[in-house]
Structure 1
Amino acid sequence: MTTPESDLCQIDRSSPRERRQSAILDAAESLFLEQGYERTSLAEIVKSSGGSLATLYELFGNKQGLLHAIATRWCDEAMLRSLEGDATGELSSVETLKAYAHRQSELMESPRAVALMRMLISESLRDREFALQIYRDLHVPALDELIELFDEWAATGRAEIDDPKAAARLFFDIVVGDSMLNTLMGVEEDWLDRDQIDWRLQPFLSHFKIR
């Protein structure tokens, strides 16, 4: 008897190790969000995931390793760094940048993202090496992708960007900088809407003559 194609799509082809890793990450993230990173013990995570402390240490090293893995997984799931689909499609440079800006804002304003950022910042303030690791692994790849795109646009005449690195940093500051800071501090809850983001981007687009 053959298995229907729709059922084949539901088959989990991950290895036992990958399933165990996901179970531990799911349990850790749930507990971190529910009761806080500092107040969650590894023993609670192991109990919730049904694994063992030895496996947790083998896969993630320690509690910081778990937090780093959770942040990396969220980043990958949300495709936070993805520009490829827009940049290689039918959109103009202006439309590409606006679409990316809207997606960045929507992703970063989610309660999950805000809670995760608070945990990452708190742990980063306590441990500089962890802060550098998070910066290298999560922020730098997104920055590099945008730098590469701006460099290409400058080379092909789609923009006049003399310093792609500085322009990429400015872009992220415009789109999520103060909104994220205000949200993390509890000063404001509402993020910029699409029209507000487009308004903020207009001087950026004009200055660099992005077409």
Structure 2
Amino acid sequence: MSDSPLPRSFTPPLSPTTQRGRKRHDALLEAAQRLFLERGFSQVSVNDIVAEAGGSLSTLYRHFGNKEGLFQAMVEHRSHDIYTALTADDIDSLPVEAALTRFGSGLLHKAMDDEALGIYREVVAESPRQPELARRFFDAGPGRMRQVVKEYLDRRVADRSLPPVDTAALAGMYLGMVLGEWHLIQLLQLEAPPSAEAIDARVTRCATLFLGGLRDAPD
């Protein structure tokens, strides 16, 4: 399904600066997410989104650029709470294990909810045909999370809370531990979702094992 072409006067996406603009921005995000999950990304056009949310195509283009930009904004919006958890003002005052547990718990809870799983399935299904969509998803979600963990580990290496390590590689390893087979099982809908208590217990264990292995590793 093709989208309407970008208007000749197209300009890069802008952040809303008024209450009315923010309401329109949020309405478009909500409509896009609902339609993407119901029909699939490729089966939804910008016209469909505008019809669902109200407003105009020019508003959508002004705020998001195009359908792919809207998708990226949707992923960034969903990852915002996790991102802010590890960039909060108090995060550097916490013990390293507590900070990683806070981040990991927020990530796993968010990654295991129905909407996040639906978006992930849609990206995997579309990625062979639309690799740019997959790149936008990775940069706005998993890639952003890996970067913020790396930056946190960089600060802990700098203040000598951790030994000198390859923080980029270790950030990816920690995320892999936290998500693990649980995320895959939920993506494939093989089992009932784990409880909130089980998720928190898993993340606590992951943080303990991760830091124990890091500190016990030879230089």
Please tell me the TM-score bracket, short chain as reference: 0.7 to 0.9
Partner of 2:101: 98
CA 1:29–1:130: 2 relative to 1, 3 Å: closer
RMSD, aligned CA: 2.5
Please give the TM-score of this superposition, normalised by the length of structure 2.
0.76
Partner of 2:208: 202
Deviation at 1:130, TM superposition (A): 2.6
Structure 1 position 53 matched with structure 2 position 76: no
CA 1:185–1:47: 2 relative to 1, 3 Å: same
Partner of 2:9: none
Partner of 2:135: 132
Partner of 1:108: 111
Percent identity at matched positions?
A: 26
Question: Which residue type is aligned with residue 23 of structure 1?
Answer: A
Checking the alignment, whether the CA contact within 8 Å between 2:50 and 2:57 is kept in structure 1 is yes
Deviation at 1:28, TM superposition (A): 1.7
Partner of 2:74: 70
Deviation at 1:161, TM superposition (A): 4.5
In the alignment, the residues of structure 1 paired with residue 134 and residue 40 of structure 2 have an alpha-carbon distance, to the nearest angstrom, of 19
In the alignment, the residues of structure 2 paired with residue 41 and residue 129 of structure 1 have an alpha-carbon distance, to the nearest angstrom, of 17
Aligned residues: 196
In the alignment, the residues of structure 1 paired with residue 83 and residue 202 of structure 2 have an alpha-carbon distance, to the nearest angstrom, of 20
Deviation at 1:15, TM superposition (A): 4.3
Partner of 1:17: 21
Deviation at 1:110, TM superposition (A): 1.3
Partner of 2:4: none
Question: Which residue type is aligned with residue 194 of structure 1?
Answer: D
Partner of 2:7: none
Please give the TM-score of this superposition, normalised by the length of structure 1.
0.79
In the alignment, the residues of structure 1 paired with residue 39 and residue 139 of structure 2 have an alpha-carbon distance, to the nearest angstrom, of 28
In the alignment, the residues of structure 2 paired with residue 68 and residue 84 of structure 1 have an alpha-carbon distance, to the nearest angstrom, of 21
Deviation at 1:169, TM superposition (A): 0.6
Correspondences of 1:74-89 after superposition (within 5 Å): 74-76=78-80, 78-80=81-83, 82-85=85-88, 86-89=90-93
Unaligned runs of 5+ in 2: 1-16
CA 1:201–1:134: 2 relative to 1, 3 Å: same
Partner of 1:167: 170
Look up the SS of the partner of 2:215 in the other structure: coil
Query: Segments of 4+ in structure 1 off by > 4 A?
Result: none
In the alignment, the residues of structure 1 paired with residue 142 and residue 179 of structure 2 have an alpha-carbon distance, to the nearest angstrom, of 13
Deviation at 1:133, TM superposition (A): 2.8
Unaligned runs of 5+ in 1: 1-12
Deviation at 1:174, TM superposition (A): 0.3
